[in-house]
Amino acid sequence: DGGITQSPKYLFRKEGQNVTLSCEQNLNHDAMYWYRQDPGQGLRLIYYSQIVNDFQKGDIAEGYSVSREKKESFPLTVTSAQKNPTAFYLCASSIPFRAMNTEAFFGQGTRLTVV
Amino acid sequence: AQSVTQLDSHVSVSEGTPVLLRCNYSSSYSPSLFWYVQHPNKGLQLLLKYTSAATLVKGINGFEAEFKKSETSFHLTKPSAHMSDAAEYFCVVSVSGGYNKLIFGAGTRLAVHP
């Protein structure tokens, strides 16, 4: 079945550590996104990528980094510079980036907790 | 600037009664609008979308929404709530003034009581 796979489902990080969240899609979508979700807030865009080897900062990129070496994969690294990383992280993808009226498809999320 | 306002953070209904989740948007461009549902610790699932065709949009699980340009609203309704409808619902606007950016409302948590 086509879809987006995020792993792990739960992740615990010690302060000062970098951690990487995995996102893989087999929908053949060009665009991929990372969102952060905090209680009582909507989703906020961290990074997005229109095409392989290209990505752009979203609204809250500080303390995060990404890569897009393959069309199917868009991993997110939460660095030690991110002061409040505990959150639910959602990866999404969509068909051609500049196409209008295109909805995004979401993975099941990764819950990151700093211990 | 584009924005989305979900007018209720929590809505509580009894099983079998109608559901109304309210959403207002602000957009300089002709928007595309979506409703997503999220069950606890899960990803978001698309319920329905408006893309400038019919103003009354039917979605999955008996939900529908009506686009009203004069009121800048896109309220989500369902005639009869089911226990399985208990979840968080997000109204989303897509603005293609440059790139396909999704702007999310803060969400409405729907509780359904027996």
Over residues A40-97, the pLDDT tens digits come to: 778 999 999 988 999 999 999 999 999 999 999 999 999 988 889 999 999 999 886 5
CA distances in angstroms from A50 to A33, A82, A101, listed in the order given = 9, 24, 16
Would the CB atoms of A42 and B4 count as touching at under 8 Å?
A: yes
pLDDT at A62: 96
Model confidence pLDDT, tens digit, residues B26-77: 877 778 899 999 998 888 999 999 887 788 999 999 999 999 989 999 999 9
Return residues 33-52 of A near B (CB < 8 Å): 33, 40-45, 50
The rounded mean pLDDT for chain B is 90
Of residues B12 and A100, more confidently modeled = B12
Q: Is B42 on the interface with A (CB under 8 A)?
A: yes
Instruction: Collect all residues of chain B within an 8 Å Cβ-Cβ radius of residue A101.
Output: 32, 49, 51-52, 94, 96
Asked if B90 has any chain A CB less than 8 Å from its own CB, the reply is yes
- B106 to A41: CB separation less than 8 angstroms, yes or no: yes
- Pair of tokens at residue A74: 């868009």
What are the counts of helices (DSSP H) followed by strands (DSSP E) for chain B? 0, 12
Confidence check: pLDDT of B99 > 60: no
Residue B14 confidence (pLDDT) above 80: yes
Q: Is A11 on the interface with B (CB under 8 A)?
A: no
pLDDT at B97: 53
CB contact under 8 A, A50 and B99: yes
Most confident listed range (A66-80, B16-30, B100-114): A66-80
Please say if the pLDDT value at position A99 is more than 80: no
Please tell me which of the candidates A97, A105, A106 has its beta carbon nearest to residue B99. Answer: A97
Residue of B nearest to A34 (CA): B102
Torsion-angle region of residue A50: left (phi > 0), alpha (psi -120 to 50) or beta? alpha
Q: Maximum CA pair distance of chain B?
A: 47
Interchain proximity A108–B43, CB inside 8 Å:
yes
Select the more confidently predicted residue: B7 or B101.
B7
pLDDT of residue A34: 96
Distance CA B5, CA B30 (A): 17
The pLDDT of residue A96 is 66
Q: Which helix (H) or strand (E) holds A48?
A: strand A43-51
